[in-house]
Structure 1
Amino acid sequence: MIDRPAYMQQIRPFMGKNVIKVLVGARRSGKSTLLELIRQRLISEGVAEQSMLHINFESSEYAGIANADDLTQYVAKHMTGTQGIIRLFFDEIQEVDHWEKAVRSFIVDYDADIYLTGSNARMLSSDLATYITGRYVTIDVYPFSFAEFLDAFRQAAGPVDERSAFRRYVAQGGFPFQTDLAFDETASLHYLEDLFSTILFKDVIRHAGIRDADSLERVIRYVISEEGHLVTAANIASYMKSEQRKVSAETIANYLNAASKAFLIYRVPREDTIAKRTLKINEKYYVVDQGLRHAIGLNNANAIDQVLEGIVYMELRRRGYAVRVGKIADKEIDFIARRGDELSYYQVSYLLGSQQTADREFGAFDGIRDNWPKYVLSMDEFPQTRDGIQGMNIIDWLLSNNR
């Protein structure tokens, strides 16, 4: 089991407190492992195992817990008579109908330290907000960052060069189960192909009540293939029409929203950088992990600029930034990242092999007059810096401690 200290650091201040800890993210991104790490941490600090109840609602062992009443009765049966704080760990809680009612009762009826995981953002619906307003904190969980992947890969394969490991990361991504496969590339990509289908059917189609599974999958595959490019529901509808599939722009928008709720793709709006306003047309989408992209037949090496952009986007999210695409007149900035009062700008390119490419990437920042950091990230071994804009090697940036 790979330790994930960055997440434990986020969770630690809330452990033992009467506030619900909600871990959300794509299926198999490591949420269950985090629950076990939390449990082990509590035990190491002297908490009795008898005060803990851990339920994975995807296990057939708990198939009889179908709704809030079932869950309430189960907890009462197993925790009645426990002295002091009880610790409740509920994995994939969205499988229980009206679970939020049961969780609210636990807050009221017990001195409870509660941890939940879920693979669909619908669990953070208005129902949850209504029942436990102000009583929960959300922690977003993602597949391995490159730094985490590198540590895990070295544990499996021994000393390995960072550049070699990054080539594997580009192809296989960072879903943690690869550690169980010793990072075998063929086995990992087979696993990821199946995982893509599981996310589609369990976390998108079922939760959103989508009937036309084939059209949904075609739309999602298209959006992933266009990762990092500006898209609209209308131009996706045109693509579907060319595939002899008539799907309305409204339906496509619903598909994209459902896939976003399942943390399969992430929507990134555009912003007029000078006017500081959100633009309502053309957005970008990024897949949660580049290994999924490669596993469904989109060769990552053939779209390396898109893939690197996606890796940088997800890393910014891991570091706690809210991210948008910037627009200044006819120029585009790949990412504007905000975290609290901090602001930074990023351009991502595979290589700045020509003066024209370098001028384009550095020139994207023309017109921005503030003094916030600006970066051009590339795979160049000796990146250039120009006019206060810092060039960085992408691998070095991913491994940097500038958190």
Structure 2
Amino acid sequence: MIPRDEYLNFLLRFKNQQLIKVISGIRRCGKSTLLELFREYLLNNGVDKEQIIFINFEDLEYEELQDYHKLYNYVKSKMIPDKMNYVFLDEIQHVKNFEKAVDSLFIKKNADIYITGSNAYFMSGELATLLSGRYVELKMLPLSFSEFCTGTPDSISVSEKYRLYIENSSFPYVLRYENDYRDVREYLLSLYNTILIKDIVERYKISDIMLLESVVRFVFDNIGNQLSVSKIANTIKSDGRNISTKTVDKYLQALVDSMMIYQANRYNIKGKQYLKTLEKYYVVDIGLRYALLGKRGYDVGHILENVIYLELIRRGYDVYIGQVGELEVDFVAMNDNGSEYFQVSASVRDEKTLERELKSLQKINDNYPKYILTLDDDPVCDYDGIKKINALDWLLKKYN
């Protein structure tokens, strides 16, 4: 198993605390494997096997426990008095009214509860209502580029690993196929269809699946471009399909809730205002995009931009599209320590391209770090405090 150290450290940080640990993320991003890694840690650090109660609700063996009364009684019967019991409830969205069982277990002082789920109902804002004030959430993504590299042979160059990362997939299971793209594509399309049907169509009661797929394909084909609901609706209408802006908005929210796409809103840097127009969308996995669209529209810059966006999310930032006057900054990344600014470009060896990428960053008057990330294999450069760094080095955390 590929180590997921940052995610594992999150669980260790909150271990034994009186909080429900919620692990959310798109299907097959590695949530169950993370729980396995955590169980291994517990067993290697003084916890007896009998103290660990693990239920995977996608396993037919536990189907009858999808009744929350039976689930509660089962877990209660397995708990060891006077010892901490570690309760893992994997893909708990299959249990109707799961929160009632979880709440009853939560009030027991010797229960440390961990739950995972992939369904839009489980991931959406409704979770805050169901478990209000009693949980911390770990939002998982598929493999980072650094994690992906640990699962590939050392003999492969970093640039070749990046090509495999974006063309095959960042979903962990794909590494088992050893770069057989036909098998990879079949797996990804199967995963895509499962998410589309189980997490979107069934949840939102969507009747026109082909129309939904038209929206998916349009968004996948326009990662990193400014989009609006009306633009998407008008484009689909021009192809002969009738769709309202209200329906597009509903479909986009469903895709965001399922974690298939991420919405990046705009932020006015000088005015320090959050804006509600001309947002951009990024897909959870570039390989999934290739599986659906093929290699048409192979835009190296926007693909790199998508990878950088997801990495910033992994590193715990809130990420926005920056606006400074009439100019745009690809990403404003915010956390408790302040902001960082990023421009992303496949290459800036052309002087005009470099000038364009520098221009918006130069108009920002604060002293927070500013970066240009490119695929150029050049030494780190400094342009009056703006650092130009190789993007793969940044992804591998070789630059601090």
Q: TM-score range by the shorter chain?
A: over 0.9
2:389 to 383, 386, 392: 392
What letter corresponds to residue 363 of structure 2 in structure 1?
G
1:51–1:300 distance in 2 versus 1, CA, 3 Å: farther
Deviation at 1:173? 2.7
Q: Is the 8 A contact 2:318 2:334 kept in 1?
A: yes
Which SS does the other structure have where 2:159 is aligned?
A: helix
* In structure 2, C-alpha distance between the alignment counterparts of 1:129 and 1:370, rounded to whole Å: 35
Residue 292 (str. 1) matches residue 291 (str. 2): no
Deviation at 1:301? 7.4
For residue 36 of structure 1, what is the aligned residue in structure 2? 36
* In structure 1, C-alpha distance between the alignment counterparts of 2:133 and 2:239, rounded to whole Å: 47
- C-alpha RMSD of the superposition: 1.8
What letter corresponds to residue 191 of structure 1 in structure 2?
Y
What letter corresponds to residue 144 of structure 1 in structure 2?
L
Deviation at 1:153? 1.0
Q: Is the 8 A contact 1:87 1:113 kept in 2?
A: yes
Residue 116 (str. 1) matches residue 115 (str. 2): yes
1:140–1:125 distance in 2 versus 1, CA, 3 Å: closer
1:260–1:128 distance in 2 versus 1, CA, 3 Å: closer
Provide TM-score, normalisation by structure 1. 0.94
Deviation at 1:208? 2.3
1:128–1:325 distance in 2 versus 1, CA, 3 Å: closer
* In structure 1, C-alpha distance between the alignment counterparts of 2:59 and 2:218, rounded to whole Å: 33
Q: How does 1:259-270 map to 2 (within 5 A)?
A: 259-270=255-266
What letter corresponds to residue 306 of structure 1 in structure 2?
H
Q: Is the 8 A contact 1:347 1:377 kept in 2?
A: yes
Q: Is the 8 A contact 1:104 1:131 kept in 2?
A: no
Deviation at 1:69? 1.9
For residue 226 of structure 2, what is the aligned residue in structure 1? 230
Deviation at 1:321? 0.6
* In structure 2, C-alpha distance between the alignment counterparts of 1:190 and 1:257, rounded to whole Å: 26
* Uncovered stretches (5+) of structure 1, i.e. residues with no partner: none
* In structure 2, C-alpha distance between the alignment counterparts of 1:194 and 1:356, rounded to whole Å: 43
Q: Is the 8 A contact 1:100 1:127 kept in 2?
A: no
What letter corresponds to residue 54 of structure 2 in structure 1?
H
Which SS does the other structure have where 1:312 is aligned?
A: helix
> Aligned residues: percent identity?
38
Q: How does 1:263-278 map to 2 (within 5 A)?
A: 263-278=259-274
1:82–1:127 distance in 2 versus 1, CA, 3 Å: farther
1:401–1:117 distance in 2 versus 1, CA, 3 Å: farther
- Structure 1, 289-298 or 313-322: larger mean CA deviation: 289-298
For residue 161 of structure 1, what is the aligned residue in structure 2? 157
Q: Is the 8 A contact 2:393 2:399 kept in 1?
A: no
Q: Is the 8 A contact 2:230 2:245 kept in 1?
A: yes
- Structure 1, 13-22 or 334-343: larger mean CA deviation: 13-22
* Uncovered stretches (5+) of structure 2, i.e. residues with no partner: none
2:201 to 200, 205, 212: 205
Deviation at 1:166? 1.1
Q: How does 1:243-258 map to 2 (within 5 A)?
A: 243-258=239-254
For residue 72 of structure 2, what is the aligned residue in structure 1? 72
For residue 332 of structure 2, what is the aligned residue in structure 1? 336
* In structure 2, C-alpha distance between the alignment counterparts of 1:320 and 1:300, rounded to whole Å: 32
Deviation at 1:185? 3.0
Which SS does the other structure have where 2:151 is aligned?
A: helix
* In structure 2, C-alpha distance between the alignment counterparts of 1:396 and 1:143, rounded to whole Å: 19
* In structure 2, C-alpha distance between the alignment counterparts of 1:72 and 1:3, rounded to whole Å: 32
Provide TM-score, normalisation by structure 2. 0.95
* In structure 2, C-alpha distance between the alignment counterparts of 1:213 and 1:274, rounded to whole Å: 42
For residue 132 of structure 1, what is the aligned residue in structure 2? 131
Deviation at 1:121? 4.9
Q: Is the 8 A contact 2:215 2:248 kept in 1?
A: yes
Q: Is the 8 A contact 1:324 1:336 kept in 2?
A: yes
Q: Is the 8 A contact 2:20 2:113 kept in 1?
A: yes
Residue 50 (str. 1) matches residue 50 (str. 2): yes
Deviation at 1:14? 1.1
For residue 4 of structure 2, what is the aligned residue in structure 1? 4
Which SS does the other structure have where 2:299 is aligned?
A: helix
1:114-159 residue CA offsets vs partner (Å, 9 max, x unmatched): 11111135325565434533221111111111111111112xxx42
1:204-244 residue CA offsets vs partner (Å, 9 max, x unmatched): 22222222222111101111110000001111100111222
1:240–1:67 distance in 2 versus 1, CA, 3 Å: farther
1:368 to 343, 364, 367: 364
* In structure 2, C-alpha distance between the alignment counterparts of 1:38 and 1:283, rounded to whole Å: 37
Q: Is the 8 A contact 1:171 1:300 kept in 2?
A: no
Residue 189 (str. 1) matches residue 185 (str. 2): yes
Deviation at 1:82? 4.7
Which SS does the other structure have where 2:389 is aligned?
A: strand
Which SS does the other structure have where 2:213 is aligned?
A: helix
* In structure 1, C-alpha distance between the alignment counterparts of 2:65 and 2:348, rounded to whole Å: 56
* In structure 2, C-alpha distance between the alignment counterparts of 1:398 and 1:27, rounded to whole Å: 23
Q: How does 1:21-32 map to 2 (within 5 A)?
A: 21-32=21-32
Number of positions where the alignment pairs a residue of Structure 1 with one of Structure 2: 399
Deviation at 1:304? 1.2
